[in-house]
């Protein structure tokens, strides 16, 4: 806020000075307007200059000095070969402007080759500030987890979004395929979420590499230019960038490293979802998506069982847990107290009746008594 106030005061000061002095020989109001435009141009130049790295600034300064020195030598040749007059003055001015411009542009472009570390600790903070740039690719924007990471505060510095990535994202959002269109719109929504995060700064850059056609290779060249890191979840881009010496932050690797650690011998309860590839295997998944392969659990598909971890395998695709379900322990856990049904026949004698000789005595009916056996 203070810097903006200083810029506004500077523009007003330049306009007032031009209004009072009339350096262009025009009316005071016109001179003041020209001074206002001149001050705005200086402020815009200063604002763009702040985005340039220190290496480029030093390279541009050295190139400008060498260009002006070369222009002075050319001016000596022009002075001795062309008679004095307007043509000679015009050529001298044009040669000086041309050489200064060429030296500025070439020096700024080649400034990235400077080794500031050789100058000691004077420019020690420059490399660290360059490493704070994180460049996003299209896949990680559409994925959406980068916004969650930024909101938790684990991601700081400047997030660089290239213009060619935005164009690719817009093409996906305008696709005729509904699936691609939804993915592209999701990516644009994620960028809006990132802009609202206070701990990060979003910077959209116009740098492009017309000679490079693939977006992944453009990201690698941009990372070299800004000395930053690429944030992606693309496995192929990760490998290619590492081969070219560019640091990569892979979201999938971060997610795998944050998964809970499971040691062999521990027990866990899982829901057996489907059949495994091997004989009598079941497959379950943890809440974070980790696959659990359970032996002897084929017949327990659709049920929750308690398994004992036998081994853990870490692969490039993620983490796999191998466990075993003890059928005997499962049967013991499912057992319930038994109930025994006993039949007791009442043998109480009947009193004889007067006609017991002629009519048969009714047989005693068995009485069923429920006797509960105590649990073992």
DSSP 152-174: TT---EEEEEEHHHHHHHHHHHT
Give the pLDDT band of residue 376 (cuts 50, 70, 90). very low
Q: Quick count: other Cβ atoms within 10 Å of Cβ 258?
A: 8
Give the pLDDT band of residue 358 (cuts 50, 70, 90). very low
Residue with the larger pLDDT of the pair 116 and 339? 116
- Tell me, what's the pLDDT at 298? 84
Cα separation, 113 vs 104, whole angstroms: 15
- Report CA-CA distances (Å) from 196 to 135, 145, 309: 18, 15, 43
CA of residue 303 relative to chain centroid, distance: 36
Give the pLDDT band of residue 329 (cuts 50, 70, 90). low
Give the residue numbers spanning the domain of 312: 267-328
- Tell me, what's the pLDDT at 205? 87
- Tell me, what's the pLDDT at 5? 83
Q: Is residue 360 part of a domain?
A: no
What tokens does 241 get?
């960038």
One domain, residues 292 and 316: yes
What predicted TM-score, i.e. pTM, was given to this entire model? 0.46
One domain, residues 131 and 247: yes
Give the pLDDT band of residue 123 (cuts 50, 70, 90). low
Q: Is residue 228 part of a domain?
A: yes
CATH code, domain with 226 = 3.40.50.1010
Give the pLDDT band of residue 350 (cuts 50, 70, 90). very low
Task: Indicate if the pLDDT at residue 359 is higher than 60.
Answer: no
Give the pLDDT band of residue 115 (cuts 50, 70, 90). low
One domain, residues 155 and 47: no
One domain, residues 192 and 137: yes
Domain boundary residue, one of 212, 238, 257: 257
Cα separation, 226 vs 212, whole angstroms: 17
One domain, residues 47 and 105: yes
CATH code, domain with 323 = 2.40.50
One domain, residues 275 and 196: no
Q: Mean pLDDT of all residues in the chain?
A: 78
Give the pLDDT band of residue 355 (cuts 50, 70, 90). very low
Q: State how many domains the chain has.
A: 3
- Tell me, what's the pLDDT at 353? 44
Task: Indicate if the pLDDT at residue 170 is higher than 50.
Answer: yes
One domain, residues 91 and 202: no
Cα separation, 260 vs 271, whole angstroms: 18
Task: Indicate if the pLDDT at residue 263 is higher than 50.
Answer: yes
Cα separation, 39 vs 213, whole angstroms: 40
What tokens does 42 get?
């200086």
- Rounded to an integer, the average pLDDT of 140-156 is 87
- Report CA-CA distances (Å) from 81 to 84, 86, 88, 96, 99: 9, 14, 9, 17, 19
Burial of 125 (0-12, 13-18, 19+ CB in 10 A): exposed
- Tell me, what's the pLDDT at 262? 80
Q: Is residue 184 part of a domain?
A: yes
Cα separation, 250 vs 290, whole angstroms: 18
Domain boundary residue, one of 206, 226, 257: 257
- Tell me, what's the pLDDT at 317? 63
Residue with the larger pLDDT of the pair 138 and 115? 138
Give the pLDDT band of residue 58 (cuts 50, 70, 90). confident
Q: Is residue 103 part of a domain?
A: yes
Give the pLDDT band of residue 112 (cuts 50, 70, 90). low
Q: Is residue 359 part of a domain?
A: no
- Tell me, what's the pLDDT at 334? 52
What tokens does 98 get?
């041309």
Give the pLDDT band of residue 333 (cuts 50, 70, 90). low
Q: Is residue 352 part of a domain?
A: no
Q: Is residue 83 part of a domain?
A: yes
Task: Indicate if the pLDDT at residue 372 is higher than 50.
Answer: no
Give the pLDDT band of residue 204 (cuts 50, 70, 90). confident
Collect contacts of 254-258 with beta carbons under 8 A, ≥24 apart.
Answer: 254/149, 255/145, 255/288, 256/314, 256/318, 256/319
One domain, residues 236 and 312: no
Q: Is residue 354 part of a domain?
A: no
Task: Indicate if the pLDDT at residue 374 is higher than 70.
Answer: no
- Tell me, what's the pLDDT at 356? 41
One domain, residues 299 and 228: no
Task: Indicate if the pLDDT at residue 296 is higher than 50.
Answer: yes
- Rounded to an integer, the average pLDDT of 366-375 is 46
Task: Indicate if the pLDDT at residue 346 is higher than 80.
Answer: no
Residue of 318, 292, 134, 166 lying closest to 235 (CA atoms): 318
One domain, residues 73 and 161: no
- Rounded to an integer, the average pLDDT of 82-95 is 84
Could you give the angle at the alpha carbon of 167 between the alpha carbons of 162 and 169, nearest 5°? 95
């Amino acid at each position: 806020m203070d810097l903006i106030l200083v810029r506004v005061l500077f523009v007003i000061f330049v306009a007032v000075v031009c209004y009072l002095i009339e350096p262009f020989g025009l009316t005071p109001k016109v001179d003041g307007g020209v001074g206002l435009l001149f001050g705005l141009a200086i402020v815009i130049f200063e604002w763009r200059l702040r985005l340039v790295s220190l290496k480029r600034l030093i390279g541009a300064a050295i190139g400008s000095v060498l260009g002006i020195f070369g222009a002075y030598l050319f001016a000596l040749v022009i002075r001795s070969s062309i008679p004095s007059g307007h043509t000679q003055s015009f050529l001298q001015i044009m040669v000086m402007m041309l050489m200064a411009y060429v030296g500025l542009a070439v020096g700024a472009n080649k400034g990235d080759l400077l080794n500031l570390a050789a100058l000691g600790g004077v420019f020690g903070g420059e490399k660290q500030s360059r490493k704070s740039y994180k460049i996003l690719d299209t896949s990680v924007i559409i994925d959406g987890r980068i916004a969650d990471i930024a909101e938790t505060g684990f991601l700081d510095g400047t997030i660089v979004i290239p213009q060619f990535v935005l164009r690719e994202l817009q093409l996906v959002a305008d696709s005729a395929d509904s699936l691609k269109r939804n993915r592209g719109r999701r990516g644009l929504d994620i960028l809006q979420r990132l802009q609202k995060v206070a701990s990060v700064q979003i910077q959209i850059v116009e740098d492009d590499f017309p000679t490079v056609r693939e977006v992944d290779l453009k990201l690698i060249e941009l990372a070299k230019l800004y000395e930053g890191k690429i944030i992606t979840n693309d496995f192929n881009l990760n490998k290619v960038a590492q081969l070219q010496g560019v640091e990569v932050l892979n979201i999938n690797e971060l997610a795998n490293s944050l998964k809970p650690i499971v040691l062999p011998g521990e027990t866990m309860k899982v829901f057996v979802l489907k059949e495994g590839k091997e004989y009598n295997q079941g497959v379950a998944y943890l809440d974070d998506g980790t696959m659990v392969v359970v032996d002897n659990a084929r017949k327990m598909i659709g049920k929750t069982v308690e398994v004992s971890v036998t081994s853990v395998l870490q692969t490039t695709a993620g983490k796999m847990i191998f466990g075993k379900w003890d059928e005997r322990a499962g049967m013991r856990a499912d057992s319930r107290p038994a109930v025994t049904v006993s039949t007791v026949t009442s043998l109480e004698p009947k009193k004889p009746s007067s006609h017991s000789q002629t009519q048969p005595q009714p047989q005693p009916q068995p009485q069923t008594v429920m006797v509960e056996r105590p649990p073992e």
